[in-house]
Amino acid sequence: MKILTVLTGVYVLFTPLFIHSRMDASPCRGIEITISDSARHRFVNRNDIMTLVRSTGIRVRGVPVNEISIAGIEEKIKTLKELRVAEVYFSADNMMHIYADQREPVMRVIATYGGDFFIDTEGVIMRRHNIYTPRLHVFEIDMVFSPNTMTGTSIFENEKTENLARAYELVTYINNDTFWSAMIDHLYMARDGEVEMVPRVGNHVIHLGKVENYQEKFDKLFVFYREAMPKAGWDRYKTVNIEYKGQVVCQRR
């Protein structure tokens, strides 16, 4: 009985190693690509990933699994800054699996110099390089955007992107508020950090001033919209200034 138990233990111990050894020597059957949230975002598609795989010069289909550099392919795919995660692995059926998780954009930024880009939920800059544009709040900023040095970097780790970090904080607040997310359409930030916003309702521009105390300013604007605008008319004012504490200053059209 003891001998049978020992033999069973040896079988259980070495069977996975035997199977793994056979799989290593077996040819790769092909590539299966999974792109997370592909129905919602299209920053990266299957052709983009396959192009990168081919560019490595690493042969895949029909090649023994143990001769394929998974690390080399994974490293190449990670050059796509639109991806938050990129993983390459083999399954027991000798298929190479490529899993890609796209970044979730929070806002679109149009720089005065250098084109436009997106910022994701982690504050990482994603360069806009294809025709796909998700519906986001657009933030025009007076700044210089250098695609080669800024793409893939965090807006929280560079003094040059301090205004971007403040803009991100403001847009995140707007996105998390049902009313303001529906109300605010377009935003603009000057070089000195002063912000103006264009609402979807009415024919006026909201002057926010600096981002500091933005929640208090939005609360004040909400009261103004609720109590004053219905009486005055939504098209009466050219600008609505909420920069100053405790007051709303309006300029008539």
Gap between the Cα atoms of 208 and 168, Å rounded:
15
**In DSSP terms, which residues pair with 27 in a beta bridge?**
64
Q: Is the pLDDT assigned to residue 10 strictly greater than 60?
A: no
How far, CA to CA in Å, does 241 sit from each of 73, 89, 166, 202, 227?
54, 56, 19, 14, 16
Span 162-183, pLDDT tens digits: 999 999 999 999 999 999 999 9
User: For residues 24 and 89, which has the higher predicted lDDT (pLDDT)?
Assistant: 89
Q: What is the CATH number of the domain that holds 230?
A: 3.40.50.11690
Q: What is the 3-state secondary structure (H, E, C) of the chain?
A: CHHHHHHHHHHHHHHHHHHHHHHHHCECCEEEEEEECCCCCCCCCHHHHHHHHHHCCCCCCCCEHHHCCHHHHHHHHCCCCCEEEEEEEECCCCEEEEEEEECCEEEEEEEEECCEEEEECCCEEEECCCCCCCCCEEEEEEEECCHHHHCCCECCCCHHHHHHHHHHHHHHHHHCCHHHHHHEEEEEECCCCCEEEEECCCCCEEEEECCCCHHHHHHHHHHHHHHCHHHHCCCCEEEEECCCCCCCEEEEC
Taking the complete model, does pTM exceed 0.85, yes or no?
no
What distance in Å separates the CA atoms of residue 83 and residue 96, rounded to the nearest whole number?
A: 19
Residue 218: predicted pLDDT: 97
Parent domain of 77:
27-102
| Residue 195 tokens, joined | 């912000």
Q: What mean pLDDT comes out for the span 227-235? A: 87
pLDDT the model gives residue 17: 41
- Are 210 and 130 part of one and the same domain? yes
Give pLDDT, residue 4: 42
Is 142 contained in some domain? yes
CATH assignment at residue 45: 3.10.20.310
Domain count, the chain: 2
Cα atoms in the 13 Å half-sphere on the side-chain side of 13? 6
Say if residue 122 is in the same domain as residue 83.
Answer: no
Residue 203 φ/ψ, nearest 5 degrees: -120, 55
My answer on whether 179 and 62 are in the same domain is: no
Mean pLDDT of the chain: 88
Residues 137 and 209 in one domain: yes
Tell me: pLDDT of 230 over 60: yes
**pLDDT score of 20 more than 70:** no
Question: How many CB atoms within 10 Å of residue 243?
Answer: 16
For residue 8, what pLDDT band results from cuts at 50, 70 and 90? Answer: very low
The pLDDT confidence band at residue 1, using thresholds 50, 70 and 90, is low
